[in-house]
Amino acid sequence: MNILFRGGRVFTATGEFAEAVLVQDGVIAAVGGEGELARLAPAHDTVDLDGGLLAPGFTDAHIHPVQAGLERAKCDLSEVFGLDAYLTEISDYAAKNPEKSWIDGGGWDMSAFPGGLPHRSQLDFLDRPAYLIQRDHHAAWVNTRALERAGITADTPDPSDGRIERDADGTPSGVLHEGAMDLVGLLTPRPTSQDLDAALAEAEQYLFSLGITGWQDAIVGSYAGSQDQLPTYLSAAGSGRLRARVIGALWWDRTRGLDQIEGLVARRAAAEGLDRFRATSIKIMQDGITENFTAATLEPYCLCGGTGLSYVDPGKLKEYVAELDRFGFQVHFHAIGERAVREALDSFEGTDPANRHHIAHLQIIEPSDVPRFAELGVTANLQPLWATHHAQMDELTLPFLGDPRSSWQYPFADLLAHGTRFCAGSDWPVSNADPLQGMHVAVNRTEPGSSVHAGYPTAQTPFLPRQRIDLATALTAYTAGSAWINRSPAGLIERGRPADLVVLDRDPFELPEQDIWTTQVRLTFVDGEPVHQR
C-alpha cells in the first residue's frame, strides 16, 4: 500500500522541512517534492495535509499511562478545580458506586487549598474510607476512616521517605506525603489484570488522539499504592494489542541496594524479543517536590527551613548507577531540587553516554551544574508545562525558594546554549498529556489559553522569559529527541523509518507564537496505518 502525504509542509526533525512524503508498506520510502514522489508511485492513496503540518509521531519520554487509565475510571478530579467542585465530584461518584468499599482516585490540585493542604474532615461525610491522590502523585488526601483503617494515629512516626501532615495537636490531618502514601494506599482495592489491561488500552487510544505514538513509562513497578504494570505490558505486547512503541522504566526500590539488580535484569529479560515493549531503563526518584518541601535543595527553604529529602543515599548512589550502567541499563532520574540534580549528575561521572541516561523534571538547576549535562552526555528530559506562572508556582513555590534560587527554574535556554540534548514528556496524569500544549509553554513560558489556570492573574505573564526556546527545538525534543532516548526507530521523517506520523490541522510555524496551543491533531499513523482520526 502506497500513501502520499501532500498539500502542506513536512517537519522532518532532521533540521529540514520537506514538501511531501511517500509511505510504502508502513515504511517511509521517500521524502521530497510532491511531483517527484507521485512519479515514484503512480498508484497511491493521498492524504491531503490541507495546509497543515506533517511531523513524526510524538514520543512522550516521561509518562504514566496505566495509572492514568486507572484514575480515569475511578473518582477523577482532574477536570475540575476547587474544593466545592471536588466535593461535588466525590459525592456523585460515591452515590453512583455504592458497592465500592473505598472511594479512591485522584487529580486534586494543591493550589485549590490554603497552604496546599486539604483536611480529612472535608471527606468525613463519606460512609467509606477515601484515598485520593494529588495531581502530581506526591501526596494523598484521606479521611478519618482511612486513617483508622491504617492504624495511623498521633503516635505513628513518619516514614524515612515521607511525612504525615499533622494538626497542631499532632493528630494526622489527612494528607500523606511521599512514602507515607503507602501507609493507606496499599490497603485500597487492588485492580485486576483485566482492569490494568483496560486502563492501558484506554490510555493508548487517548494518547494516539494527541499524536503520541510512543512513550517511556516512568514507573514500571509498585509505587504509592499502584500495581506493578510489567505483566500488563508483557501481555499487551505479546498478544499484539500494544501498537505504540514503549520503554518501561523499572522502579528502583529506594529501601534496597545492589541486591535488587539481579531481579531487575530478570525483569528486563522478560521483555526481550517483544516488538513493541522493552524494559531497558531504570527509574530512580531522588527527591520529592518543592511544594511540600521534599525536593532536595542546597540551602534551606525560606520561611519553613529544611533542605528536603534525598531518597537514595548520595554516598551510595554513584555505586548503584555505576553498576546499572555496567549492566547496560539506561538510568532515568526524577530530580526536582538543585541538590537532587547535582547528586544525579555526580552519579553519572564515569558512566557510558551510549546508555542514554537522562534526568527528568529539572525544576531547579544551580547554574554551575548547567554545563555538566552536555559534558557528561546526559539528556535533559523536559516537562515544559510546569514552567509558567500558575497558582502552584506563585503561591506554593516562589515564596519558599527565594532569590536567586527562584530564577534557576526550568533553564531550558541555558541548557540548550551549552549543547544539551533534549527529550520531553508530560508526566501525565500529573499534567496535560498534549505535546502541543507543552510546546506552547516551552516557546512562550505562559499558560496555554485552554488551561484550567488560564484565568489566574499572572498566567499570561511569561515566567523567566529568557529561558524560552524556539518551536523547532521544542518539536524536535518531542519527536527525534524522545525517540532517541527510547532507541526507537521512529522519531524522524527520513527514508527507511517506520511511518509513525502525525498530521496537524494547521502549521504552528505559521502561527503567532501565542497561538501555538490552538493546533490540534487531525490524524495519527503507526506503521502507516491510521490509529486516530479527528
The domain that holds 139 is classified in CATH as 3.10.310.70
> Does residue 338 lie within any of the structural domains?
no
One-letter-per-residue 3-state SS of 412-475: HHHHHHCCCCEEECCCCCCCCCCHHHHHHHHHHCCCCCCCCCCCCCCCCCCCCHHHCCCHHHHH
pLDDT at 128: 95
Residues 49 and 81 in one domain: no
> Does residue 23 lie within any of the structural domains?
yes
Choose between 391 and 480: higher pLDDT.
480
Looking at the predicted structure, is the pLDDT value of residue 104 above 80? yes
Residues 51 and 80 in one domain: no
Residues 52 and 74 in one domain: no
Compute the distance between CA of residue 361 and CA of residue 522 in angstroms, rounded to an integer. Answer: 29
Residues 150 and 179 in one domain: yes
Q: Which of 135, 155, 185 is the C-terminal boundary of a domain?
A: 185
> Does residue 220 lie within any of the structural domains?
no
Per-residue pLDDT band at 88 (split at 50, 70, 90): very high
Q: Which of 125, 154, 185 is the C-terminal boundary of a domain?
A: 185
Pairing of strands 330-335, 358-361: parallel
Per-residue pLDDT band at 252 (split at 50, 70, 90): very high
Q: Which of 135, 164, 185 is the C-terminal boundary of a domain?
A: 185
> Does residue 275 lie within any of the structural domains?
no
> Does residue 99 lie within any of the structural domains?
yes
> Does residue 333 lie within any of the structural domains?
no
Residues 46 and 113 in one domain: no
Looking at the predicted structure, is the pLDDT value of residue 451 above 70? no
Residues 87 and 17 in one domain: no
pLDDT at 516: 98
Residues 82 and 45 in one domain: no
> How many domains does the chain contain in total?
2
Residues 99 and 170 in one domain: yes
Average pLDDT of the segment spanning 391-416: 96
Looking at the predicted structure, is the pLDDT value of residue 453 above 70? no
- Per-residue pLDDT reduced to its tens digit, 156-210: 999 988 899 999 999 999 999 988 999 999 899 989 999 999 999 999 999 999 9
% residues pLDDT > 90 (the chain): 85
Q: Could you tell me the three cell numbers for 135?
A: 495531581
Average pLDDT of the segment spanning 392-418: 96
Range with lowest mean pLDDT among 135-144, 455-464, 486-495, 505-514: 455-464
- Per-residue pLDDT reduced to its tens digit, 274-310: 999 999 999 999 999 999 899 999 999 998 889 999 9
Average pLDDT of the segment spanning 386-412: 95
Choose between 377 and 134: higher pLDDT.
377
pLDDT at 160: 84
Q: What is the mean pLDDT of the chain?
A: 95
Residues 21 and 88 in one domain: no
Looking at the predicted structure, is the pLDDT value of residue 455 above 80? no
Compute the distance between CA of residue 136 and CA of residue 270 in angstroms, rounded to an integer. Answer: 30
Q: State the CATH number of the domain containing residue 47.
A: 2.30.40.10
Residues 8 and 33 in one domain: yes
pLDDT at 454: 52
Looking at the predicted structure, is the pLDDT value of residue 72 above 90? no
Cell 483503617 belongs to 149
Task: Give the predicted TM-score (pTM) of the model.
Answer: 0.92
Average pLDDT of the segment spanning 260-267: 98
Average pLDDT of the segment spanning 310-326: 97
Compute the distance between CA of residue 482 and CA of residue 57 in angstroms, rounded to an integer. Answer: 11
> Does residue 170 lie within any of the structural domains?
yes
Residues 112 and 135 in one domain: yes
Range with lowest mean pLDDT among 120-124, 176-180, 221-225, 251-255: 221-225
Q: Which is nearest to 177 in space by CA: 193, 166, 192?
A: 166
- The residue range of the domain holding 20 is 2-57+494-533
Compute the distance between CA of residue 490 and CA of residue 499 in angstroms, rounded to an integer. Answer: 7
**Residue 53: CA count within 13 A, CB half-sphere:** 22
> Does residue 421 lie within any of the structural domains?
no
Residues 93 and 180 in one domain: yes
